Amino acid sequence: MDLDAVRTFVAVIDAGQFQAAADDLGITQQGVSRRVSVLERELGVALFVRSARGVRPTIDGQALLPHARELLRAADRAAAAVTPGRRALRIDVVSRRIAPAGVLHAFYQQHSDIELDVVALPNADAAAALAEVSEGRLDATFRSLRDSRRTVGPGLRSARVIDDRHQLLVGPRHHLANAEGVTPAELADHPIWMPGMSDPEPIGYYEDLATAFGLTIDTIGPSFGHEALLAEIADSSRLATFVGEGSRYLWPESYDLRRIPVIDPTPVYPLSVIWRADNKHPVLAAFLEYLDSRYLATTGANVWCPDWAR
């Protein structure tokens, strides 16, 4: 069904005259008559009764009207879904607990009038996530790009925008529970427990970190979820884990967990935002500018990151 003809049919009913509808649509009266005739032939019914005072819909025209209006609304929604600036910006934050989610939330708080679709692809590796961006199913994603040594495919762009500072998470009975800060060297004798990790990017990063400072980081074993991990750490005098400064975790007050900054140097998990170079979504442009200005304001000295991230 010709949408122009349907739009003209609705315009004639709303205006009550062919000439008035023509003026509203910016076409000639003959153009209006031709479109209505095309629609009547396609449907096999008369849609209007014409008189010297104007036109009014026939019974068939009245029956068609609500469906015609819904068809036009659906067409407008379809156009909006793919129109830059009108459709929702679709961003993969990997996990809603970690730094990218917090940064995106802070951006949204400053721009609460935008349409935003927050996606979490925790089980997608970097290659799969970049394919989603390249094929237009995502506007952007956050990855370390370790395995590709910070290179992306044709048509994509990347920028390092987050250095998530490490903290040690321990329970109240742990030897370091009352420390104001802890150095990587001091952690050499304290195993770090990070079970259930499956993504090659963070696994590789923590291998690099362990090698650089002689740490023992245990990623072996199934994950029973963050709640189970936090409960075991709270009850242990030995277990500890790494969390990012930008990560958000909630636990019962009775756990009395401690987040201790890792210092001298502070290891950071480097994250880049990846997007398509030809993506013209205006909100994406604003978000990239926000990320850049925020990174310049938060990056600091005396941090450690792997050679591939520099």
- Out of 82, 114, 136, a domain closes at 82
- Out of 38, 64, 82, a domain closes at 82
101 and 133, same structural domain? yes
How large is the average pLDDT for residues 242-257? Answer: 95
Q: Can you list the positions of beta strands (E) in the chain?
A: 48-51, 54-57, 89-92, 116-119, 140-143, 156-170, 192-193, 217-218, 240-244, 258-261, 266-276, 303-304
Residue 309 lies in a domain: no
Residue 223 lies in a domain: yes
pLDDT recorded at residue 219: 84
Helix (H, G, I), strand (E, B) or coil at 240: strand
185 and 170, same structural domain? yes
Angle at 301 between CA 165 and CA 263, to 5 degrees: 50
Instruction: Say yes or no to pLDDT of 85 above 60.
Output: no
156 and 274, same structural domain? yes
280 and 210, same structural domain? no
Residue 252 lies in a domain: yes
Instruction: Say yes or no to pLDDT of 83 above 80.
Output: no
95 and 24, same structural domain? no
Residue 61 lies in a domain: yes
259 and 173, same structural domain? yes
286 and 220, same structural domain? no
156 and 211, same structural domain? no
258 and 177, same structural domain? yes
Residue 308 lies in a domain: no
Nearest by Cα to 227 from 238, 218, 235: 235
pLDDT tens per residue across span 104-155: 999 999 999 998 999 998 777 899 999 999 999 999 999 999 988 778 989 9
Residue 310 lies in a domain: no
Helix (H, G, I), strand (E, B) or coil at 159: strand
Instruction: Report the number of distinct structural domains present in the chain.
Output: 3
Find the domain containing 55 and state its range. 3-82
pLDDT recorded at residue 269: 96
Would you say 264 and 186 are in contact if contact means Cβ atoms under 8 Å apart? no
Residue 305 lies in a domain: no
CATH classification of the domain holding 179? 3.40.190.10
pLDDT recorded at residue 82: 66
pTM attached to this predicted model:
0.73
How large is the average pLDDT for residues 20-37? Answer: 91
| Calpha distance 49→8 (Å, rounded) | 16
- Out of 49, 82, 115, a domain closes at 82
Instruction: Tell me the pLDDT of the chain averaged across its residues.
Output: 91
193 and 130, same structural domain? no
52 and 14, same structural domain? yes
Confidence band, pLDDT 50/70/90 cuts, at residue 102: very high
296 and 253, same structural domain? no
pLDDT tens per residue across span 37-66: 999 999 999 999 988 778 899 999 999 999
- Token output for 171: 């329970």
Helix (H, G, I), strand (E, B) or coil at 64: helix
Instruction: Say yes or no to pLDDT of 272 above 90.
Output: yes
How large is the average pLDDT for residues 218-229? Answer: 86
Confidence band, pLDDT 50/70/90 cuts, at residue 27: very high
Residue 306 lies in a domain: no
